[in-house]
Chains A and B, each alone.
Chain A
């Protein structure tokens, strides 16, 4: 029975989460714009959130005994809040960087070079 023929289960969510994660990582890795990088971060976080929600959902699990209850949702909510906060800080940094360097190109931000 192929993946696509199955009823929607945890695996499918996981695939979506993985796609989101990989997209986010690739975005972080290739975008030179700091805002792009921040978006990549959001994607990565949300990919993870998808995974948490999927793992904790009682409806998606065939074996209820392993379900996590509401823990996954809670962590997801926590991550979302965290992401919001992080985004705020990161945008402030970016703004400052822009003010100093007139650019948001992360490759220019290499002061931490060893």
Chain B
């Protein structure tokens, strides 16, 4: 089967299998074996099959040389980099010597990457506007599929062990009922796997999506999965709040994303990334090959921005459009589209200022934190920013860089004081995501996505180790741990591998763990950017380097507090035990990948794969900020940047490590003293820079206040008006009634009453006495006669 048929089929199947598993568990979950235990097998089987299919797809990609035949142009810059890097330990620099099949791994590509993209089916079509479910498969997609399904599979296995409590009746010690007892509830084993399956489906859909709308669809779906998984312990108030917070904060980001989507949609009339059936997609509109794939404002945006001219009757000929384009029409639309889409990434990847939800999201079970909130879903923001990279204008990239750098420092500082083991890791995740965003923002596309992949492995490893610890000691508080390495060596040493990976441990210039390669390439790119942009670059470089030091400090602090030294809580320590095999075997596998995944000498190393998906074309200088210049990413391999980065980072990170050892390993320094000396700073960090309080004050409360006002306005004002109108009408009616009753009816009744009283008076004459009548007749006759007589006489 040709790859253009087999790849969509394989990945499509891999994508839909978890959905089938989800549907099955929803319908018959509780009946699947005792307490739904079979649900786990169904879900795991589905994701395992997905992984196998992804690996096959990966194989087809690699061994079919699908991405290796791109035209590239060797530039002197790259050549220089190669010279300086003769030993070839660096990621992108290596492949030069690796063989004829990996030309694309370096050099500046001139043609668009090899992509398979097509519509699966159409949601709706209105005239020229079409919305569809489509796929977009390039090496990045294949890589992400493999990575996501691998980690997801391991976490499914791990969850067998971690969630086994849910197979019986559970006593939730964190929930106290009104009668003072702890909550007893039925286990929800199957439901956990049901959500996991839905999540895997959504996440894979997000990766394979061929258009922005589809991305948005799965964006929301992973959001809702995250909502369900964070709120898995629905009885816990904190879990509910965290789930709500996660979803709503994400929606804030989506708000921006929708704006970006609207800007794209209104001006381009398509959401497709690539060209499908001859219809131009977003990428080729913004990076037309006619313009050497440079960022170009598409015709549609120009025309849209120049609406008033069109309305005035100026015909939009191609010549006219290029005139308008050179006048700057439509550029703001491009920036808005980019920044808008990035807003979505900010929400999902927990970047400043929407980073607040991720630490709270640790309320979910730990496998969830490992899968959703470190390796995959939160990385989806970075993935989307990377996927959408060709569309970002330089100004938008600068925004990304600033957001990334601020996030990176902010989260790293908070992680220093946190004592909840998962929260430390959560802030570390936020900080690392900041790294990735920073990398993307300074032009390090491959560096950022490289770090995304390596981070996924070592961070999920770290989370799963922490889960193993929590499973053993039943607390998240590191102050109650210590010395656990004796009790749970597998966990302790795999975690040490993870810590070393995130630390970026290496023998400089020779070999290192995965984090070493990815982090170094980011810092090198930051230095390269600084070189081209002295105004902005210094901050980014400082953030990247400083972040490395802080990371080293808090990660080792975590490890020392947990595993080294003497046990601080003997009760917990006595209870602690190594986790079952089903839990620590995945740790070992992950540890293996955390060590090796960054290794550049493999024929299918991550950087090489990424290079295959790189969109061609240089950045032009920004239109709004003309000074902004983006250096080619290959420039960062120049020794002046790369060696410098390596040396500086080695020392800074070492500094962090030494401090950590001094504080928590050898206990030469006492953290409590430092705490009291810098109490103001400590309080600031302890309270997470007061972001929650700030947002509560400036967003949550005002919204609730406004809603109260609106509710009252409705009741008091509008309803008051309506009811008032009704009252007025009734008052008028009452007045009318009075008039009717007393004036109109009154006069009629008075006449009637008079008549009656007269008649009543006359009644007395009618005595019924015959003789009186005779008398009256006589008298009357006589009187009449006399009357007539007199009147005749008078007349």
Which residue numbers of A lie inside 8 Å of B, CB to CB? Answer: 25, 28-32, 37, 106-107, 109-114
Contact = CB atoms under 8 A, between A and B. Distances in A.
Contacts of B770: 37, 106-107, 109
Interface string B735-773: 000000000000000000000000000111111111100
Given A25-B778, A29-B778, A107 B771 contact: yes
In the complex, the 7 A-B pairs of residues with the closest C-beta atoms, listed nearest first: A114-B766, A110-B768, A113-B768, A106-B770, A114-B763, A112-B768, A28-B774
B760 to A, nearest CB: 10
5 contacts: A25-B774, A106-B771, A107-B770, A110-B769, A114-B766
Given A25-B778, A29-B778, A111 B768 contact: yes
A106 B771 CA distance: 8
B766 A113 contact: yes
A110 B768 CA distance: 4
A110 B774 contact: no
B775 interface: yes
Contact of B774 (A29, A32, A109, A113): A29
Given A112-B768, A113-B769, 7 more contacts: A25-B774, A29-B774, A37-B771, A106-B770, A109-B770, A112-B766, A113-B766
Nearest to B781: A25
Contacts of B766: 112-114
Contacts of A31: 771
Contacts of B775: 29
Contacts of A30: 771
Nearest to B764: A114
A109 B775 CA distance: 16
Looking at B763, B769, B770, B778, the one whose CB has the most chain A CB atoms below 10 A away is B770
Contacts of B767: 110, 113-114
Interface residues of B, number: 13
Q: Which of B763, B766, B769 has the most CB of A within 10 A?
A: B769
A79 B614 CA distance: 144
A41 B778 CA distance: 13
A110 B770 CA distance: 8
Nearest to A41: B774
B141 to A, nearest CB: 114
A96 B770 CA distance: 17
Contacts of A25: 774, 778
Contacts of A28: 771, 774
B778 A32 contact: no
A31 B771 CA distance: 8
Contacts of A114: 762-768
A25 B782 CA distance: 13
Nearest to A32: B771
A106 B764 CA distance: 19
Nearest to B765: A114
B671 to A, nearest CB: 120
Contacts of A112: 766, 768
Contacts of A107: 769-771
Interface string B770-788: 1100110010000000000
A30 B769 CA distance: 12
Contacts of B763: 114
Contacts of B762: 114
A29 B768 contact: no
Nearest to A27: B774
A44 B762 CA distance: 30
B768 to A, nearest CB: 3
A83 to B, nearest CB: 17
Contact of A109 (B764, B768, B778): B768
B765 to A, nearest CB: 7
A61 to B, nearest CB: 24
A105 to B, nearest CB: 10
A13 to B, nearest CB: 20
A9 to B, nearest CB: 23
A29 B771 CA distance: 5
A28 B769 CA distance: 12
A110 B778 CA distance: 19
A109 B768 CA distance: 7
Nearest to A110: B768
A107 B765 CA distance: 15
Nearest to A40: B774
Contacts of A106: 769-771
Interface string B519-554: 000000000000000000000000000000000000
A113 B768 CA distance: 4
Contacts of B769: 106-107, 110, 113
Nearest to B778: A25
Contacts of A111: 768
Nearest to A22: B778
Nearest to B777: A25
A113 B766 CA distance: 5
B775 to A, nearest CB: 5
Contacts of A29: 771, 774-775, 778
B767 to A, nearest CB: 5
Nearest to A113: B768
A89 B2 CA distance: 134
Contacts of A113: 766-769
Nearest to B775: A29
Nearest to A37: B770
Interface in B555-594: none
B75 to A, nearest CB: 134
A32 B769 CA distance: 10
Nearest to B763: A114
Contacts of B771: 28-32, 37, 106-107
A109 B763 CA distance: 17
A113 B205 CA distance: 108
B675 to A, nearest CB: 116
A64 B529 CA distance: 162
A109 to B, nearest CB: 7
A113 B762 CA distance: 12
A43 to B, nearest CB: 13
B32 to A, nearest CB: 102
* Max count, chain B CB within 10 A of own CB: residue among A31, A109, A110, A111: A110
Nearest to A114: B766
B757 to A, nearest CB: 15
A28 B763 CA distance: 24
A37 B770 CA distance: 9
A109 B774 CA distance: 14
A32 B771 CA distance: 8
A28 B770 CA distance: 9
A97 B230 CA distance: 110
A112 B766 CA distance: 8
Interface string B681-698: 000000000000000000
A106 B770 CA distance: 6
B766 to A, nearest CB: 3
A37 B763 CA distance: 25
A10 B763 CA distance: 44
A112 B773 CA distance: 11
A98 B767 CA distance: 21
B2 to A, nearest CB: 122
Contacts of A109: 768, 770
Contacts of B768: 109-114
Interface in B80-103: none
A32 B772 CA distance: 11
A107 to B, nearest CB: 6
A84 to B, nearest CB: 21
Contacts of B765: 114
A94 B767 CA distance: 20
Nearest to B766: A114
B656 to A, nearest CB: 125
B267 to A, nearest CB: 102
Contacts of B778: 25, 29
Query: Which residue, of A31, A112, A114, has the highest number of chain B Cβ atoms within 10 A?
Result: A114
A37 B767 CA distance: 18
Contacts of A32: 771
A106 B772 CA distance: 11
